[in-house]
């Protein structure tokens, strides 16, 4: 999506997530060719609807319910919701839509389109950092992880082969199977859903191993056993 003058954007916050939340992984989520296939409508239709609501007295979000119902692919929404119920990730938006829309507008779109669980679970740093123009997607994600290093071993990417620039090479080098790329014009299907499940399971297994290792080290601290015996 090209940059538009209709709306403005705000830079996401950095590293302000509350402590005690690191057991939850982060899902880097793209929209186009992942959950939005642009068949009957797409991002520009949503932007146009928001602009009309802002300018035309008496016009409401609910007046565009047909748009919200069709904006995101029904099967993709179902798969994403199933993933959320099982793994409960935080979400960080990598989509180019955030170049065009403020966070509040994106949340409105997500809620009215059946993805309220994404809006409710956006990470405090809710989108990858952007420069003056779109960058390589893999670099944007790396920049976000550099600012939120506590998630360096707790992330999964859901993107597509067209706009997920740099991710195919990135995955081949070191991050398979945590980078899941959808086919252009096809989006999130059962194939990617199964790969995402496996990726989240591996992240959970790794997190559990780290927790167990830390517990073992704590039990080996000098005086730990003596205090327990007393």
Is 179 a member of any domain?
Answer: yes
Is 186 a member of any domain?
Answer: yes
For 59-109, write each residue's pLDDT tens digit. 999 999 999 999 999 999 999 999 999 999 999 999 999 888 999 999 999
DSSP classification of residue 59: -
> Among candidates 140, 183, 190, 223, which has minimal Cα distance to 37?
183
Is 164 a member of any domain?
Answer: yes
For 25-66, write each residue's pLDDT tens digit. 999 999 999 999 999 999 999 999 999 999 999 999 999 999
Query: Please, which residues have CB within 8 angstroms of residue 58's CB and are 6 or more apart in sequence?
Result: none
CB 32 within 8 A of CB 100: no
- Number of folded domains in the chain? 1
Phi–psi pair at 116, nearest 5 degrees = -60, -30
CB 117 within 8 A of CB 84: yes
Is 193 a member of any domain?
Answer: yes
Is 106 a member of any domain?
Answer: no
Structural domain including 84 reads 26-38+72-94+116-229
Is 53 a member of any domain?
Answer: no
Distance CA 62, CA 53 (A): 10
CB 163 within 8 A of CB 35: no
- Share above pLDDT 70 across residues of the chain, in percent, rounded to a whole number: 77
């Amino acid at each position: 999506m090209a940059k538009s003058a209709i709306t403005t954007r705000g830079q996401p916050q950095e590293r302000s997530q509350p402590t005690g939340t690191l057991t939850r992984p982060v899902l880097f989520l793209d929209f186009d060719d992942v959950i939005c296939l642009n068949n009957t409508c797409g991002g520009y239709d949503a932007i146009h609807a928001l602009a009309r609501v802002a300018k035309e007295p008496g016009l409401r979000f609910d007046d565009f319910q047909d748009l919200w119902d069709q904006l995101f692919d029904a099967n993709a929404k179902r798969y994403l919701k199933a993933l959320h119920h099982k793994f409960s990730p935080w979400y960080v938006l990598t989509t180019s839509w955030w170049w065009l829309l403020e966070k509040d507008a994106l949340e409105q779109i997500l809620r009215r389109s059946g993805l309220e669980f994404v809006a409710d679970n956006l990470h405090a740093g809710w989108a990858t950092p952007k420069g003056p123009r779109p960058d390589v997607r893999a670099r944007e994600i790396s920049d976000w992880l550099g600012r939120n290093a506590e998630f360096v071993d707790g992330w999964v990417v859901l993107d597509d082969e067209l706009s997920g620039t740099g991710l195919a090479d990135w995955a081949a080098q070191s991050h398979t199977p945590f980078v899941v790329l959808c086919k252009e014009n096809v989006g999130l299907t059962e194939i990617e859903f199964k790969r995402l499940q496996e990726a989240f399971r591996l992240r959970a297994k790794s997190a559990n191993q780290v927790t167990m290792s830390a517990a073992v080290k704590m039990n080996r601290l000098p005086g730990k056993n003596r205090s327990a015996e007393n």
